[in-house]
Amino acid sequence: MKLLKLKSGLYKRILGVFGAAGFLVTFQACYGTPQNFVTVQGNVKDVDTEEGVSNLQISIYSNQDSITVQTDEEGYFNQSIIAESDINVKILDVDGEENGTYSEFDTVLNNDNHNLEITLQKD
């Protein structure tokens, strides 16, 4: 009788290990490997008036991900991106003469500060 209980306990442990391993494999297959999300946010202002510039195209990209957003009415943008290292930010004025024509801006973020305050000159 003791031998039967011992075998039963051993089988439960073995099945428990395989059950946990199966759960972990299934979880990773469904949800993937955890990613390093970084939030990049900022405000773009006119250098002369110090007012926010709307409708600028903000391209944010890294080796793992890329996304394009636009500044809101007050010149703000906020977006998360998957990034393991440097993040590139490029700003283009794509609305033409609607709010003036602004020069292009391009920078690389390689530190922990992903909050940008940018001033642009009209062309």
CATH code for the domain of 47: 2.60.40.10
With cut-offs at 50, 70 and 90, classify the pLDDT of residue 21: low
Q: How far is 92 from 97, CA to CA, in rounded Å?
A: 13
Q: Do 55 and 102 reside in the same domain of the chain? A: yes
2 and 48 in a common domain: no
Encoding tokens for residue 103?
A: 């020069």
Domain count, the chain: 2
Same domain, residue pair 45 and 22: no
Task: Tell me: do 54 and 111 sit in the same domain.
Answer: yes
The pLDDT value given to residue 101: 87
What is the percentage of the chain residues whose pLDDT exceeds 90?
50
Q: Determine the structural domain holding residue 56 and report its residue range.
A: 37-120
What count of residues does the chain have? Answer: 123
Q: Are residues 60 and 27 in the same domain?
A: no
Angle at CA of residue 22, ends 21 and 27, nearest 5°: 100
Domain match, 42 and 60 both: yes
Q: Do 15 and 52 share a domain, yes or no?
A: no
Distances (CA, A) of 121 to 2, 21, 35, 84, 97: 85, 58, 36, 32, 14
Per-residue pLDDT of 48-58, as tens digits, reads: 999 999 999 99
Same domain, 29 and 84: no
Residues 42 and 30 in one domain: no
Count of CB atoms situated within 10 Å of the CB of 60 = 23
User: What pTM value is reported for the model?
Assistant: 0.69
Same domain, 57 and 108: yes
In this structure, are 100 and 54 located in the same domain? yes
